[in-house]
Structure 1
């Protein structure tokens, strides 16, 4: 278990949540995977951060023909919309994760709210990296308030996002703009 405090805040316009479709999320995952092809060192595995990162990580691993693994990281108190992250991230690495990683480990989550989850998971995995190995982070969404953005993301948002693999939202939602390109810092 690893815990990392972080004081950054997510930004929310508090209009109505964004509601990507499963197809939009799959297309974004594919574009992100395409954007890391040719990375040096080559992507050796994809790790989905449970629970939200599992859905986009699986198609990325398939596209990259890389093994898929998962870790669990939690910091939200509940699933209620527009809540600020605590900044205190608990990472649970189970026994099925390999002891050592070479190449580039691609960490995937559905959204980077503050960057604290990626920082905490990276810290939990750093001791498992071989010499020359690297960690790269990717998220479908980056909140505009994210202090430490991932290495790759599809959309930048300033409101809550309701994912198709979460409990349905019973109010108004707003569509996403078309995805034109993958972003990087």
Structure 2
């Protein structure tokens, strides 16, 4: 088990504070399938998916299943509470379970539900570093990317400018806004 604390200088999440976005479960699964399709044929080939718990577990499961590769989990904690409109602190605690492979090769996909500032992907990438073969590549994928995210991810479906409440979270406000039907993967 590995724990690391990161304090990189990443972007600040932007919130219009109009009302949170709330994609449906169907939309999230469709977006995850688009993300999986976007990695088909990448070199080196995808050999594993690492879902960043908690939010990345469901999309990572869909992606790993579609690609037919093993799913692993990394636990990353960024927000101090589950309250809406929290600003990113840049402090991310990562815990890697002991059941991970001794060495990852090929392309390893890191998956989360949202890239708010970029700090979580950076922290998980750093924590996985000792487990990556010299030729291994990591790619980060998220359902959503906040407009304030300064680094990554490598692919995402929705740009957002407010808080997002995903279907696997509790407490969706009545005035939540839907996201459009997912139709393409965005990249930097």
Normalised by the length of structure 2, the TM-score is 0.96
Report the secondary structure of 2:51's partner residue. Answer: strand
Give the total of aligned pairs.
185
1:22 is matched with which residue? 25
Q: Describe the SS at the equivalent of 2:172.
A: coil
User: CA separation in 1, counterparts of 2:100 and 2:170?
Assistant: 28
1:44 to 44, 47, 63: 47
Gaps of 5+ in 2: none
Q: Which residue of 1 aligns with 2:124?
A: 121
- Give the Cα separation in 1 of the matches to 2:162 and 2:19: 7
RMSD over aligned Cα atoms: 0.9
Once the two structures are superposed, residues 36-84 of structure 1 have per-residue CA deviations (whole angstroms, 9 ceiling, x without a partner) of 0001000000010000000100010000000000010001010111110
> Which residue number corresponds to residue 66 of structure 1?
69
Q: Residues 108-129 of structure 1, C-alpha deviation per residue, up to 9 Å, x if partnerless?
A: 0000000000000000011111
Q: 1:105 aligns with which of 105, 108, 111?
A: 108
> 1:98, CA displacement in angstroms?
1.1
Identify the residue that residue 149 of structure 1 maps to in structure 2: 152
CA distance in 1, matches of 2:71, 2:112: 13
In structure 2, C-alpha distance between the alignment counterparts of 1:68 and 1:22, rounded to whole Å: 20
Determine the C-alpha separation between the residues in 2 that align with 1:160 and 1:131: 37
- Partners of 1:95 and 1:180 lie apart in 2 by 37
Distance of 2:83 and 2:174 partners within structure 1: 13
- Runs of 4+ aligned residues of structure 1 deviating over 2 Å after TM superposition are none
Structure 1, unaligned runs of 5 or more: none
Task: Give, in angstroms, the shift of residue 131 of structure 1.
Answer: 2.2
Q: Matched residues in 1 for 2:88 and 2:163: separation? A: 12
2: CA distance between counterparts of 1:114 and 1:52? 15
Task: Map Cα deviations across residues 9-34 of structure 1 (whole Å, 9 max, x no partner).
Answer: 10000000000000000000000000
Taking the aligned partners of 2:126 and 2:61, their CA distance within structure 1 comes to: 22
